[in-house]
Chain A
Amino acid sequence: MSVESASYRVIYPRVRRRRSPIARWYRSNEPAVLGLAGLASFFILWQVASNAGLIDDLFFSSPTAVLQAAVTEVQVPRFWSDVQYSLTEVIVGFIASLVLAVPLGLVIGWYRRVSFAFDPWLNFLNAIPRPALIPLVVLWVGLGIEMKTIIVFLGGFFSIILPTVEGVRTVDQGLLDVAHSFRASQRRVFTSVVIPATVPFIAAGVRLALGRLLIGVVVAELYAQTQGIGVMIERSADVLDSARMLFGVLIFTLMGVLTTGLAGRVERRFQRWRPSANLDLEEGV
């Protein structure tokens, strides 16, 4: 019997064509290229629509106008003090929420009795929409940076403590058995099992917290307009300066992108042992 004697459908291997260097460069950078193209086309469309008078500059501004606003703004000392003011709220609020939420979360998650006592409070306080507390906090500490930092802190604190508690509660019992089997001290059980197992949960909480922190900054600054980028946005809106307003929004966005990127780097550094944390590295090879 021979395969030529009858009719067959033949399945061929994949033909590998040699690609030009440009095509190969494109294939390895496709996500970045298409991503940039998407962004660029939006700005070009916006600019064209503005130039052609299709949209009203007064309300929608244009990319060049925002750029111009940026160039003038960075030369004004008040702008830099606003940036510093808002950044201080974010940084102090974030550090305070991390430093308090992580240890407290570890303790509540680990000791059942402590969690019985704290759980109702955590659920109750977390249910409060935080902006509703602003007038009360103003009453306590005034309209200054303290009030805004407290509001920012509250947003970050609950975002971090709830996943931390959850992380401790879901630690693998098998690994705790290993630690106890080798007679690990309570302290070592914590440092070798509980804390490493909770790190991914803390990291998820931090990511959530960073978004909430910025919302806290904006809401608090819009409520009590003393200083900060939120105030700059509001003042620009008052005088219908949409370009400057959008520049302010851009500053907040930049803060969000930078802090999230930084947190991602720290997270990967702490989680080299997780397969998913190394995926992007391995795929690059």
Chain B
Amino acid sequence: MAASSELALSARGLRMEYRDRSSDTRLVAIETMDLDVGDGEFVSLLGPSGCGKSTFLKIVNGLLKATAGEIRLRRSGTGREDAMVFQDAALFPWYSVLDNVAYGLVCAGVSNADARKRAAPLVELVGLQGFETKYPYQLSGGMQQRANLARALAVDAAILLMDEPFASLDAQTREVMQAELLRIWNAARKTVVFVTHQIEEAVYLSDRVVVMSSRPGRILADIRIELPRPRLLEVKRSAEFTAYAAQIWKLLASQPAAADSGRHG
């Protein structure tokens, strides 16, 4: 998936500080960050807990305001520029699967009936047909993440922001979901910014892996993954794959504070 010359997202001089109320000190979450993501590219942000990678997504999504710097998102003709796929699914427990998927459309002013009609094909795309009227508690963790993904796809945004969406899944479901995500990405033709702390996951999914340092977060390396697509899960056993993973592992291991994975932020 070679990126076209058009940029979907461009961040310049992005900086994020929090004020720690208890000690009245400033905590730097992101030091300075410049990042370009091409149209249709799949880019992973990889780093230890607390490196500011989720914070970056929230700034792009508008849930947080940066301290300095700017982000440009290419306008899409059809509606929203970006849509978020949340960690822990975050489905509304009181809505059926179909109504959860239709939520973003309803927020955009589409009538309930039309939103459901437009959500139905996406429920099918993520493989949840037959579960439209179920409530989230009746779904497995993997199915909840499928609905979470469909909800973001439904608003037809140009960029999907995915915040460690498979972190809480068991190893097998996680692999299945990774392969599913590539299938859906292939069908939906979106730009994806994918946050994860799993090296394997980042290499398997991405065109580029952006490795971040531990807090304060900055970019350590931007690695292009030249594995052919479509990628089957077997590619994880290949020599090239292992080489990429080893290269990234070395980068992270050289980080003095990287071993401190207990930090959260």
CB distance from A79 to the nearest CB of B (A): 44
CA distance A275 to B95 in the complex (A): 13
Would you call B18 an interface residue if the criterion is a C-beta within 8 Å of the partner chain's C-beta atoms?
Answer: no
A197 to chain B: closest residue by CB:
B94
CB distance from A273 to the nearest CB of B (A): 4
CA distance A177 to B87 in the complex (A): 11
**Are B137 and A275 neighbours in the complex by a CB distance under 8 Å?**
yes
Q: Which of B88, B104, B135, B136 contacts A182 (CB 8 A)?
A: B104
CB distance from A233 to the nearest CB of B (A): 43
**Are A175 and B92 neighbours in the complex by a CB distance under 8 Å?**
yes
**Are B90 and A177 neighbours in the complex by a CB distance under 8 Å?**
yes
Q: Which of B80, B92, B108 contacts A193 (CB 8 A)?
A: B92
Would you call A14 an interface residue if the criterion is a C-beta within 8 Å of the partner chain's C-beta atoms?
Answer: no
CB-CB contacts of A89-104 with B at 8 A, as 1s and 0s?
Answer: 0000000000000000
A272 to chain B: closest residue by CB:
B135
B109 to chain A: closest residue by CB:
A185
For A193, list chain B residues within 8 Å (CB). 92
CB distance from B147 to the nearest CB of A (A): 12
**Are B137 and A274 neighbours in the complex by a CB distance under 8 Å?**
yes
**Are A182 and B107 neighbours in the complex by a CB distance under 8 Å?**
yes
CB distance from B163 to the nearest CB of A (A): 10
Would you call A38 an interface residue if the criterion is a C-beta within 8 Å of the partner chain's C-beta atoms?
Answer: no
A185 to chain B: closest residue by CB:
B107
Give the residue among B86, B92, B103 with the most A Cβ atoms within 10 A: B92
CA distance A175 to B106 in the complex (A): 16
CB-CB contacts of A143-175 with B at 8 A, as 1s and 0s?
Answer: 000000000000000000000000000000011
A-B contact count (CB 8 A): 53
CA distance A182 to B83 in the complex (A): 7
For B136, list chain A residues within 8 Å (CB). 273
Would you call B63 an interface residue if the criterion is a C-beta within 8 Å of the partner chain's C-beta atoms?
Answer: yes
Q: Which of A174, A188, A196 contacts B94 (CB 8 A)?
A: A196
Q: Which of B80, B86, B95 contacts A177 (CB 8 A)?
A: B86
CB-CB contacts of B129-157 with A at 8 A, as 1s and 0s?
Answer: 00000011100000000000000000100
CA distance A178 to B94 in the complex (A): 14
CB distance from A186 to the nearest CB of B (A): 12
Would you call B93 an interface residue if the criterion is a C-beta within 8 Å of the partner chain's C-beta atoms?
Answer: yes
CA distance A175 to B151 in the complex (A): 13
Would you call B84 an interface residue if the criterion is a C-beta within 8 Å of the partner chain's C-beta atoms?
Answer: yes
**Are B61 and A181 neighbours in the complex by a CB distance under 8 Å?**
yes
A195 to chain B: closest residue by CB:
B94
For B86, list chain A residues within 8 Å (CB). 174, 177-178, 181
| A-B contact list, 18 entries, CB within 8 Å | A175-B90, A177-B90, A178-B90, A180-B62, A180-B63, A181-B61, A181-B63, A181-B83, A181-B86, A182-B104, A182-B107, A183-B80, A188-B106, A192-B103, A196-B92, A272-B135, A274-B93, A275-B137
A-side interface residues toward B, CB under 8 Å? 174-175, 177-185, 188, 192-193, 196-197, 199, 272-275
| With A174-B88, A175-B90, A273-B135 already in contact, 11 other A-B pairs whose C-beta atoms are closer than 8 Å | A178-B86, A178-B103, A181-B62, A181-B86, A183-B80, A188-B107, A192-B92, A192-B103, A193-B92, A199-B94, A273-B93
List 6 A-B pairs, minimum CB-CB distance, nearest first: A196-B94, A182-B107, A182-B104, A273-B94, A184-B107, A273-B135
B-side interface residues toward A, CB under 8 Å? 61-63, 80, 83-84, 86, 88, 90, 92-95, 103-104, 106-108, 135-137, 155
